[in-house]
Amino acid sequence: MKKLLSFLFLFVASQASAIDVFDVYPTNWWVGMKNPKLQLMIHSKNVAETIPVFKLPATGVRIADGMTLKAIHHVENPNYVFLDLIIAANAKPGVRVLEIVVPGSHVKINYELMAKSKEDGKTRTQGISSKDFLYLMIPDRFSNGDPSNDIIAEYRDQTSDRKSMFARHGGDFKGIENHFDYFQQLGVTALWLTPIIENNTGRMSEGGNSIAGYHGYWFTDHYQIDKRLGGNDGYLQFCNAAHKRGIKVVQDAIYNHISKEHFFATDPPTADWLNNWPSFTGPNHREETLFDPYGSAYDKKVMLDGWFTDHLPDLNQRNPFLATFLIQHAIWSTEYFGVDGWRVDTYKYCDEQFMNNVNAALEKEFPAITIFGEAWVNSVIANAYFTQNTMGSPFKHNANSVIDFQSCFGMLAAMGLSQGWTDGVNKLYMTMAQDLVYKNPMRNCIFLDNHDMDRVFSVVDEDWARLKLGLTWLLTLRGIPQLYYGTEVLMKNKKTRTDATVREDFPGGWEGDSVNRFTEAGRTEKENESFTYVSTLANFRKRSSALTTGKTTQFLPVRGLYTYFRYDTKQTVIVVANTGNNAAKPRWNTYTERTTGFSKIKNVITGKISSFEEIELQPKECFVGELVK
């Protein structure tokens, strides 16, 4: 897009009418933003010669209608110039020519200030809440709606090959859009796509395999959406179409690193743009280094500045120009596409103050926006550390949500049926009991698996009853439930040699697929049972105030029987799961603080109304019921 939406510098005066094309970031901006400041990054060979630094009056210089130039910055690399601008509160939308008169040249830049969407906070940029049901997918692996974009001539990787799990497979926005009916049938209200920004990389070697950037985590140009997915226009069209259907969109951000083929790596603006090391140094992955009262500065530096892999240079977000670039890009993406929320990759490896700054800047412009960091950590304290919490740590993170790995581990342990004092369902109970460290645990994003983990159906040894326990907790515990694509139709696999085994194509997503699990007819009986269960419970949940916004009371697990209630003044829902070895009845005599005033119970899956006493659960069985007066 950057070349197409080109920004022309016309060298007039001494250089006659020479015309050049420069890359300018952000590629456009808006009038009426709460923050009137805008910093343009101009990238072009020796652009510092064309725009020399010169002293501006303190009030700045008017360079276009409603736009004032406050400062010109040079950095070590002459291929970059940074311009500090102020946009007047009363500036009108439209394309204008920024005129910069410098000794020896008169630079003109075409630049557009657009009108902000009036739908922000209404049908777009709405945020994600516990009322939502989020569906995570890898766009390349979900469905191919446009085979003509599978290979893009100018890109380094010229392969699209479904026979290779390491190659790109051709999935795209159009393919996802073709299945909006499927998501709505399933009860899904929001989609989280792994990163959609251009990954114009060659194959990279990881774990002895030669891998394509099919997953999207190797950015090469922040302002270009990958053309194999549909490009900028395709993503905008996709976001608009989703919003029209009442489906929200969560974008996956990466502030921590870039591909080594990004121009930030091949032509870094400053010597400290990347966190450089004498030789490859990976992070120690120990989040404790950030909050350990006895931690060393050395360990913290390795954690924050180590490179995730040798082909993913680590960004130094302490550099103010880089920080501004990343913050403005986040705002640009949100306003341009109408993104409802952000999932932030590798959160715990990023400079902490920078993360708070980018989150605050996003919330300032889009008060409803949801931001959840990927905090793959090993304790509840660490999980809470990376979101708003109630702990007394010296540094306080401000993310308004977090990916809740601890409840995931709790649910996995509970599905494992161990009867240990701190294991099995007791681990889930204990994890929930530690919610006091979160400022608002209802905003935690909860899940059973994701694109980096063994698929949950394989984790439970393809035992539907155990998966059903997990799906039940996922859709009835506090928080924002997230399902990984295909779990609902029993997609399986473990990460045997690579992540790619848990990122297979959704069957039926490609024309001519022999199996189509998008349709009832294309699914086996077991797959339909699972799909129907998720769909029934998710659609009940959608209408249930108790499950989406209600309070929780949980009871101590007894011989593997775990019971909790979700309730508010309008509704009370009981969830009972038997992870023990013997048939068991709910212990009604101990639940009276939640059951008083009710006489019957309605099974939310079957609709059957029965007395409390009739309910009995076989081992691995679970029950979700709405109490009836």
Q: Of the listed pieces 17-25, 253-261, 437-445, 544-552, which binds Ca ion according to CB under 5 A? A: 253-261
* Nearest CB to Ca ion, comparing residues 130 and 256: 256
Count of residues near Ca ion by CB under 5 A: 9
Closest approach, Cβ 136 to Ca ion, in A, equals 20
Rounded distance between C-alpha atoms, residue 581 and residue 579, angstroms: 7
Task: Give residue for tokens 């032509």.
Answer: 267
Tokens of residue 305, six digits: 């500045």
Tokens of residue 353, six digits: 């103050």
Q: Segment 261-290, which members bind Ca ion (CB under 5 A)?
A: none
Cα atoms in the Cβ-side hemisphere of radius 13 Å centred on 334: 30
272 burial class (0-12, 13-18, 19+ CB within 10 angstroms)? middle
* Nearest CB to Ca ion, comparing residues 302 and 361: 302
Regarding 349 and contact with Ca ion (CB under 5 A), the answer is yes
Q: Of the listed pieces 102-110, 144-152, 259-267, 378-386, which binds Ca ion according to CB under 5 A? A: 144-152
Q: Of the listed pieces 147-155, 231-239, 337-345, 522-530, which binds Ca ion according to CB under 5 A? A: 147-155
Closest approach, Cβ 350 to Ca ion, in A, equals 6
Report, in this order, helix, strand and coil percent for the chain, each rounded to 5.
30, 25, 45
3-state class (DSSP) for residue 204: strand
Tokens of residue 579, six digits: 């992870």
Closest approach, Cβ 150 to Ca ion, in A, equals 5
390 burial class (0-12, 13-18, 19+ CB within 10 angstroms)? exposed
Question: Rounded to whole angstroms, what are the CA distances from 459 to 467, 530, 609?
Answer: 9, 16, 34
What radius of gyration do the chain's Cα atoms show?
A: 26
Closest approach, Cβ 149 to Ca ion, in A, equals 5
* Alpha-carbon torsion (363, 263, 314, 224), positive or negative: positive
Closest approach, Cβ 147 to Ca ion, in A, equals 5
Catalytic residue among 150, 177, 345, 449: 345
Closest approach, Cβ 241 to Ca ion, in A, equals 17
Q: Of the listed pieces 249-257, 335-343, 509-517, 550-558, which binds Ca ion according to CB under 5 A? A: 249-257
* Alpha-carbon torsion (24, 27, 28, 29), positive or negative: negative
Q: Crossing angle, helix 464-476 and helix 525-543, to 10 degrees? A: 10
* Nearest CB to Ca ion, comparing residues 104 and 320: 320
Q: Which of 256, 259, 289, 572 binds Ca ion (CB under 5 A)?
A: 256
Q: Segment 159-188, which members bind Ca ion (CB under 5 A)?
A: 170, 172
Regarding 150 and contact with Ca ion (CB under 5 A), the answer is yes
Q: Give the DSSP letter string of 128-163.
A: --TT--EEEE-GGGT--S-GGGSS-TTSS---B-TT
* Nearest CB to Ca ion, comparing residues 79 and 281: 281
3-state class (DSSP) for residue 72: strand
Rounded distance between C-alpha atoms, residue 261 and residue 259, angstroms: 5
* Nearest CB to Ca ion, comparing residues 144 and 426: 144
Check: CB of residue 259 under 8 Å from CB of residue 218. Answer: yes
Rounded distance between C-alpha atoms, residue 165 and residue 182, angstroms: 25
Closest approach, Cβ 25 to Ca ion, in A, equals 21
Regarding 424 and contact with Ca ion (CB under 5 A), the answer is no
Q: Of the listed pieces 31-39, 139-147, 231-239, 326-334, which binds Ca ion according to CB under 5 A? A: 139-147
Strands 134-137 and 190-193: parallel
Closest approach, Cβ 468 to Ca ion, in A, equals 35
Closest approach, Cβ 487 to Ca ion, in A, equals 24
The question of whether 345 is a catalytic residue gets the answer yes
Regarding 226 and contact with Ca ion (CB under 5 A), the answer is no
Regarding 195 and contact with Ca ion (CB under 5 A), the answer is no
Q: Quick one: DSSP state of residue 378?
A: S
Catalytic residue among 374, 404, 449, 626: 374
3-state class (DSSP) for residue 505: coil
Residue 212: Cβ within 10 Å count: 23
Residue 388 corresponds to which amino acid? Q
The question of whether 374 is a catalytic residue gets the answer yes
Q: Of the listed pieces 10-18, 143-151, 259-267, 446-454, which binds Ca ion according to CB under 5 A? A: 143-151
Task: Please count the residues of the chain.
Answer: 629
* Nearest CB to Ca ion, comparing residues 120 and 314: 314
Regarding 149 and contact with Ca ion (CB under 5 A), the answer is yes
* Nearest CB to Ca ion, comparing residues 170 and 625: 170
* Nearest CB to Ca ion, comparing residues 238 and 591: 238
* Nearest CB to Ca ion, comparing residues 170 and 560: 170
Closest approach, Cβ 534 to Ca ion, in A, equals 27
Rounded distance between C-alpha atoms, residue 68 and residue 91, angstroms: 11
* Nearest CB to Ca ion, comparing residues 172 and 177: 172
Regarding 144 and contact with Ca ion (CB under 5 A), the answer is yes
Rounded distance between C-alpha atoms, residue 557 and residue 539, angstroms: 28
Q: Which helix (H) or strand (E) holds 566?
A: strand 561-567
Contact pattern for Ca ion over residues 308 through 347, marking x by CB under 5 A = ------x---------------------------------
Q: Give the DSSP letter string of 434-503.
A: TGGGBS-GGGEEEES--TTS--HHHHTTT-HHHHHHHHHHHHHSSSEEEEETTGGGT-----SSSGGGGS
Which residues have a catalytic role annotated? 345, 374
Please report, as ranges, the residues that interact with Ca ion according to CB under 5 A.
144, 146, 149-150, 170, 172, 256, 314, 349
